[in-house]
């Protein structure tokens, strides 16, 4: 495990009903990096996120986070340690106001109320939702709900933020806002971005890990990934920019 790695997966494998879904997956994410995880549907990306976040336990292999072996830790303990994440499907509290959603996330760290209010304001400003602070969360557009979920993740003041398909279903303007947010967070929060939109990956990521059939196929900077014939054959489909 690299000395400066915040997140390290080593030899992760998992089987469901005897069928191998991930096999010997290893990678390291340095502190401050924006790492993209890409691959075709069925490559094992969401399963890998489940192993990293503690929602699933591996059949073999280890997960180290911030210098600790968290392989068998439940997800809530990893959150307290500084691992935040969002899901493919929004998980906001639709009947609560925007600020209440973010406040609930902040209170997971047992902050005093005055600090919670400061964190809520800071998080909503970072994602561009400050003007919606008193709106009912369920009344927001889908794109704004996705941004609210990211604000909830940021309110937990994570060392690592795992974003699973954050631009899925977003408008072009929402996607541009998301890319600007990642640039704003760069170096401040380590980001693991699971994403299908290759324009987002190429512009936002510092480094890319490509999964295919439950294994690491390729790793490199975005330009190397884009130029790789191996990646194009397995995933990008030549001129196809999205999968």
Q: Is residue 18 part of a domain?
A: no
What does the pLDDT look like over 42-97, one tens digit per residue?
A: 899 989 999 999 999 999 999 999 999 999 999 989 988 999 888 655 679 999 99
CA distances from 178 to 25, 57, 128, 225 (A): 28, 31, 9, 22
Q: How many CB atoms lie within 10 A of CB 235?
A: 23
What's the pLDDT at 201?
A: 94
CA distances from 135 to 118, 189, 204, 219 (A): 18, 27, 30, 42
Look at the chain and report how many structural domains it folds into.
1
Has residue 222 got a pLDDT over 60? yes
- List the structure tokens of 188: 């401040």
What's the pLDDT at 24?
A: 95
Pairing of strands 160-164, 190-194: parallel
What's the pLDDT at 243?
A: 34
Q: Is residue 51 part of a domain?
A: no
> 158, 123 in Cβ contact below 8 A?
no
Q: Is residue 240 part of a domain?
A: no
Supply the pTM of this predicted model.
0.88
| Cα–Cα distance measured from residue 210 to residue 183, given in angstroms and rounded to the nearest whole number | 22
Has residue 136 got a pLDDT over 80? yes
Q: Is residue 110 part of a domain?
A: yes
What's the pLDDT at 85?
A: 85
Has residue 12 got a pLDDT over 80? yes
- List the structure tokens of 24: 């010997």
Over residues 230-237, the mean pLDDT reads: 78
Q: Is residue 16 part of a domain?
A: no
Over residues 131-141, the mean pLDDT reads: 95
Q: Indicate the pLDDT class of residue 106, thresholds 50, 70 and 90.
A: confident
| SS3 state of residue 182 | helix
Q: Is residue 19 part of a domain?
A: no
**Which has the higher per-residue pLDDT, 68 or 113?**
68
CATH number at residue 110: 3.40.50.300
Please give the distance of CA 234 from its chain centroid, rounded to a whole number: 23
Over residues 123-145, the mean pLDDT reads: 93
Q: Is residue 24 part of a domain?
A: no
What's the pLDDT at 238?
A: 46
**Which has the higher per-residue pLDDT, 20 or 98?**
98
Q: Is residue 229 part of a domain?
A: yes
Residues near 30 by beta carbon (within 8 Å), at least 6 away in sequence: 2, 4, 5, 6, 190
Has residue 32 got a pLDDT over 90? yes
- List the structure tokens of 25: 């997956």
Pairing of strands 215-220, 207-212: antiparallel
Q: Indicate the pLDDT class of residue 169, thresholds 50, 70 and 90.
A: confident
Pairing of strands 60-65, 34-38: unpaired
- List the structure tokens of 8: 């390290």
Tokens 């927001």 map to which residue?
A: 140
Query: Domain limits at 170?
Result: 33-44+74-235
């Amino acid at each position: 495990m690299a000395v400066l790695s915040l997140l390290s997966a080593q030899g992760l494998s998992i089987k469901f009903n005897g069928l191998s879904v991930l096999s010997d997956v290893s990678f390291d994410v340095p502190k401050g990096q924006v790492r993209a995880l890409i691959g075709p549907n069925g490559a094992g990306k969401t399963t890998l996120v489940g192993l990293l976040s503690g929602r699933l336990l591996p059949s073999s292999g280890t997960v180290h986070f911030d210098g600790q072996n968290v392989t068998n830790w439940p997800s809530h303990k990893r959150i307290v340690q500084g691992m935040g994440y969002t899901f493919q499907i929004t998980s906001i509290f639709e009947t609560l106001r925007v600020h209440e959603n973010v406040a609930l996330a902040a209170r997971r760290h047992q902050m005093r109320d005055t600090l919670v209010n400061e964190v809520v304001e800071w998080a909503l400003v970072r994602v561009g939702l400050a003007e919606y602070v008193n709106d009912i969360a369920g009344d927001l557009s889908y794109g704004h709900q996705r941004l609210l979920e990211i604000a909830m993740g940021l309110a937990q003041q994570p060392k690592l933020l795992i974003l699973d398909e954050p631009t899925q279903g977003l408008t072009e303007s929402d996607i541009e806002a998301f890319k600007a947010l990642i640039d704003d967070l760069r170096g401040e929060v380590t980001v693991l971005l699971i994403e299908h939109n290759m324009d987002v990956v190429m512009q936002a990521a510092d480094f890319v890990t490509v999964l295919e059939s439950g294994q690491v196929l390729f790793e490199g900077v975005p330009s190397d990934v884009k130029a790789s014939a191996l990646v194009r054959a397995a995933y990008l489909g030549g001129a196809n920019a999205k999968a």
